[in-house]
Structures are given as structure tokens and as C-alpha cells.
Amino acid sequence: MKLAKSMRLKAAFAITAATAIVVTGSMTAKTPSVTAASTATTRTKNVILFVGDGMGNAARNAIRLATVGEKGKLAMDDMPYAGLVHTSSTSAVTDSAAAATAYASGVKTYNGAIGMDANKKSVKTIMEYAKQAGMSTGVVTTSQVTDATGAAFGAHVEDRSAQSDIAQQFLTKSKVDVLLGGGEDFWYPAGNPGAFPDEPAEDPSEKSKGTRGNLVDKAKQLGYTYVTNKTDLQKAKGNKLLGLFANEEMFQQREEGGGDIYNPVVTLPDMTKKAIDTLSKNKKGFFLMVEEEAIDEMAHENNAALTIKAGQQLDKAVQVAKDFAKKNPDTLVLVLADHETGGLSIEPVDAEDESGDAISKEDGPFTIAGSKEKFVVDWTTSGHTAVDIPVTAMGKNANLFTGMYENTEVFTKLMKALGLSIK
């Protein structure tokens, strides 16, 4: 049976109920000012910011259709407020580093910059402001904890590749309390493998390559509990936690057709729960950034099946945060992306493939949950695009995030929600 006309329209234009809120909100929303931070109705105590790396609106719809069907709602979509974010850096098409710096520090910058403005001047991050206000901070990701998105919230380097420098700054400068993800290779010097062996069979290119000495030992000296597996993570106590669960990313992304794998040894929902449990001990509140990196990485390889699978794990992590927020109503939960990857579109199974059999060959078909209908995913690129991305929000001061605005305004709105001002 062919897709109904209404389904074709939804698939082609990727319009969701959340987007409808966006259109309405964009007509009335005002851009808040950081200097007006004290005008927030009441201060948000806790912020949980989710970044689905590379997750544009069409990707969210593909995840939704495959998970809960045409009429269902993902946890990330079932929120009362929504907006649209422009994603450009100083270039039209951003990378994750510049995008995360915009969110974390409120400045447009060049691709590759971490916590630096366009003139390579260090800019203070929202996690640093939060820490200064007595809050706890955390980074959770399925990528290296020192990769671009997490790095931009707690480090300042001119080039995102300086991951050992980023790790050192996490410990000694921004003093992030919880760090959970991959990237052990950048915490140990060359020739000194940690819990994960150098040159593993699944990817012989991975091996210890740290440039700042043994940073795991440094973390332990600074009071961090260090864990490398799920069992020890669950048992870990204390207020400072470092968990590294892979040499580099917590999945394997290879050349197209080379056998991509998404199977983190600790799931994003489990890492998110542990981070929240640890950070919420602070009565002054916390700021947590949670990233699902594999959405982007699998989209780069035009692997729709694993793009969707990673998105489903992100959604489960969002539900963990929503459950916490329901019990702690002074919490703000946001879900957005840094940019879109792959030029993904959703099409009927019988649609004519106008893009040929090269990198943009159609993926699928995928079953629409709860029905006999199917859809396919088509790709236009293996890179990033400049389309706007959706943001959904719930909790304390979530109403600030309606409308259509630049990515730098996410920082402004977060500062206002937290009652913080630039110093």
C-alpha cells in the first residue's frame, strides 16, 4: 500500500508538531539580553542540554517514524516549547567546534575553534559561569569527552585537534565535575595504553597519543573517581567522576559499506543517569551537556539505520532527564543539534531516486512503527549542511527558547534562565 498524500507531505517537508510551535513562536518571541539576566521570572537551578550531533529536523522525523510511528511522539518532541536555530559559524556551514562554541559562549567563530572567538581570543563558557556561581558541571558523550562539542563547554584552544590540552583544561581550569564518554587515547602518553589496548582489531589506528603526560593519574590526584566499565560506573561514589569507555569514539564508524558498529559498552541513557545522580548532590544546581555523536558520524557515512539507532538512544537519555525534571521542576531540559549532517530527506518507498547510486543512494526501506507502511531515507551529501535545526524545551524558563534565532542566542537564553550575567 502506498503512503497517503498527507504522509508524503510530512515526509517531504519534515514538518512536526514541534515545528508548528516554532512557526507560531517566531512571530512573537523577543531576543533576550544577557545584561537583562536578572529579569528571568525565577532562576533555573539545573540545566540538562542535549546535543544530537548532526540531527536535523528530517533526522528527528526519521527517528520518530521508526520508533513511535506517524502519530507518536518521541521524548525529545513531547515538550511544550520549540524553536528554530540558525547554525552558521563565520562560514555558512559550521562544524561542531564552532557550533558548540556559539552555544557555550555566545560568539560566532571559525570552524575548528574551541572556546575562542573569531580573533582567537578566549571567551568564557557557560559552564565556567555556572561553576563560578557554585554549580556543578558535567559532560557526557558517546564521542571522546575531549571532542569538539564537549570541549567547547570547558576548554579554550585554537584547534579542536588539541585533545590532550582540552583534557588538561577540563581538570585544572574549568574543573568539570563529571566527564563520561570515550577518548582514553588522549589521556595517556604514547606507548602507555590504559584499560583499552593500543591498535585494537576493530580499528588498528587507535592508540594512546596524549601530549600532556598521564592525565588519568592527574585526575585521580585531583579527587576524581576513575572508571572504565559499566559495573564500576554504577558503583562509583563521590562528587567528581571521570569515566572513559573506549580508545576514541564509543562506536566504530568506517568507510561506507565497511561495517559500521554502534554498540557503546555503556549506553548514553546509563551515563546520563549517573551524571545526573552525581551532579544533583549539589544544592546550588548543575549544568550538564549530553551529546550523542553517532547521529553525526553515521550520517557522514550515509548509514540511516545506525543514524536512527543512535537517535533512539538519545531519546532514551532525554527521557531519563525528563523523569528527573518532573521530580525537580526547577530543571530546564533542552534538546537541539549543532548542525545537520547528510542532507537527509524522507521519501516514499516508490519515489524515483533522482540522485543515482553513488553516495546518496537511498537507504531503507524502514518500517513506520505501528503500521505496515515504510519509508526510505535519501542523502544529498556526506558533509554538513546549513539548514536550521529544531530545539525543544521543557521545565523552568523553557519558554525562552521559542522563536527563530541565531545559535549564539542559545547562550544568551541559558544565561538568562540561570540568572547569570557576563562578568
Is 189 inside any structural domain? yes
CA distance 384 to 344: 10
CATH number of the CATH domain containing 169:
3.40.720.10
Is 214 inside any structural domain? yes
CA distance 143 to 379: 23
In the chain (423 residues long), the average pLDDT of successive 10-residue segments reads 39 37 35 39 92 98 98 97 98 98 98 98 98 98 98 98 98 98 97 94 91 98 98 96 97 68 95 98 98 96 94 98 98 98 93 58 91 95 97 98 98 97 82
pLDDT the model gives residue 362: 80
Number of folded domains that form the chain = 1
E strand map for 254-402 = 286-292, 331-336, 340-341, 345-348, 363-367, 374-378, 384-385, 389-395
CA terminus-to-terminus distance, the chain: 61
pLDDT the model gives residue 147: 98
pLDDT the model gives residue 352: 63
pLDDT the model gives residue 258: 59
pLDDT the model gives residue 353: 60
Strand, helix or coil for residue 241: strand
Whether the Cβ atoms of residue 346 and residue 16 lie closer than 8 Å to each other: no
Position 39, amino acid:
T
Convert 69-96 into a string of H (helix), E (strand) and C (coil): CCCCCCCCCCCCEEEEEECCCCCCCCCH
Tell me the whole-structure pTM to 2 decimals: 0.90
Who's near 268: CB < 8 A, 6+ residues apart?
Answer: 140, 142, 290, 292, 313, 314, 316, 317
Tell me the C-alpha to C-alpha distance, in Å, between residue 2 and each of 67, 90, 188, 347, 348.
20, 44, 55, 11, 8
Whether the Cβ atoms of residue 83 and residue 391 lie closer than 8 Å to each other: yes
Is 343 inside any structural domain? yes
Catalytically annotated residues:
96
Tell me the C-alpha to C-alpha distance, in Å, between residue 242 and each of 138, 175, 233, 250, 399.
10, 11, 9, 15, 33
| Cell numbers describing residue 93 | 556551514
Position 73, amino acid:
K
Q: Say which DSSP state 210 is in.
A: B
Is 386 inside any structural domain? yes
pLDDT the model gives residue 25: 37
pLDDT the model gives residue 423: 72
> To which H or E segment does residue 60 belong?
helix 57-68
| Cell numbers describing residue 35 | 545584561
Is 423 inside any structural domain? no
| Domain carrying residue 205 | 5-418
